[in-house]
Amino acid sequence: MNLLISPRLPAATAVLSAVVLAALVALPARAADTRPESPNNKGVVELETGSSTGISVRIAEDLANIVDDGSTRRVLPVVGKGALQTITDLKLLHGVDIAIVPTDVLDYARQQKLYPGIENSLTYITKLYNEEFHLLARQDIKSIADLANQTVNVDLRNSGTAVTAGKLFSLLKISVTPANDDQAVALEKLRKGQIAALAFVSGKPAPIFRGLAEINGLHFISVPLRPEITAAYVPTRLTGSDYPGLVSQDQPVDTIAVGTALVVAPLTPYSDRYRNVANFVDTFFTQFQGLLDPGHHAKWSEVNLAADFPGWRRFPPADEWLKRNTSPAVALKPQDLRAIFSRFIDERQQATGGQPMTQQQKDDLFGQFERWQSGQLH
């Protein structure tokens, strides 16, 4: 029986997010897998996550709970230290089989040629959820422009937040002094007024921001959704439902989101570790609907297992599973897609108090989506 792959994001939001160029990275070929096998390693898949201040550890726990059967399958979460280090770990560390990696960090690594050939050696199982860019500031900081020449914590060096914040401030032409403290340390410094703001990329609601409603003056500041920003990232919002007391119910905060992907190390085909990951994929995909049940993280509702990751190869067992089990999607007619897109833009501008877009501006933005879809935008 064919299985329907996960619920998709609302169609209009998906259209705008499609305009965003999903960018990716590259790693050299991995040395032969020489880790000795033993009965204790049978079925074990090591999954590297981000830090516990974000949500990827919780996502890994959800995966472990749904995949583990107590004897033949087990997911072992490993907390990583920065997204760029995670890419290195996938390439070089014995035992790290898969990892949750931000897509813009992959793009950065490829553009900077940090790991030549990475797009040929790493594969992906599926795109996952989006993680939101949070910018928490002191009371005197009213807009992102006020951060010029101020100290902004961007998490540890080589972290996903450091990469995203660096690109964002560059696009906005705002020069800041970056600090690289752990987020918990940075939050304490922000409370004391020692830094102007802290940036953090994490799925909402991020655990570190729980209980901040009582801290006088700290607030999220908006990211201006200029064309150069929306051409690189997905526009989104932080709402009062996400952060009660910290964000007003009637004044959501505009920001951007970064995609994530479940990436596979360059494993030797048909080796024990390769087969372990293949078995993980089969169970994960087959049991996916269970992750949408209450008790699991709400971000699973954003995941579409069949979504493509342009420029990257899907892990062959994942590709084969989808070909066997995915029902063909019904494509929207171009005029219907354009109408959905136009309506979304109008509603968003009205909700944010922005100036209505001209038809030409809408057509130009929709044209970006069409060029991305045809593979002309990179």
Task: Read off the pLDDT band of 18 (50, 70, 90).
Answer: very low
Q: What are the tokens at 139?
A: 């009371």
For residue 149, the Cα-to-chain-centroid distance in whole angstroms is 28
Buried b vs exposed e over 307-335: b needs ≥16 C-beta within 10 Å?
A: bebebbebbebbeebbeebeeeeeeeeee
| Cα 266 → chain centroid | 21
Q: How far is it, in rounded angstroms, from Cα 211 to Cα 74?
A: 34
CA atoms within 13 A on the CB side of 50: 29
pLDDT at 160: 92
Torsion of CA 157, 112, 21, 27, to 10 degrees: -90
pTM score of the predicted model: 0.74
Asked whether the CA dihedral 306, 308, 314, 316 is positive or negative, the reply is positive
Homologous superfamily (CATH) for 132-258: Periplasmic binding protein-like II (3.40.190.10)
Nearest 10 degrees: CA dihedral of 181, 176, 195, 146?
-150
Identify the residue whose tokens are 């995941």: 303
Which of the two residues, 187 and 310, has the higher pLDDT score? 187
Domain with CATH 3.40.190.10 in the chain: 11-130+260-325, 132-258
Q: Report the C-alpha gap between 120 and 100 in whole angstroms.
A: 18
pLDDT tens for each residue of 68-79: 887 789 999 999
- pLDDT tens for 333-373 read 666 677 777 777 776 666 556 677 888 777 777 776 665 55
CATH T-level assignment (fold) for domain 11-130+260-325: D-Maltodextrin-Binding Protein; domain 2 (3.40.190)
Query: Is residue 227 helix, strand or coil?
Result: helix
**Using alpha carbons only, what angle is made at residue 186 by residues 185 and 190, rounded to the nearest 5 degrees?**
120
Q: What is the pLDDT of residue 347?
A: 65
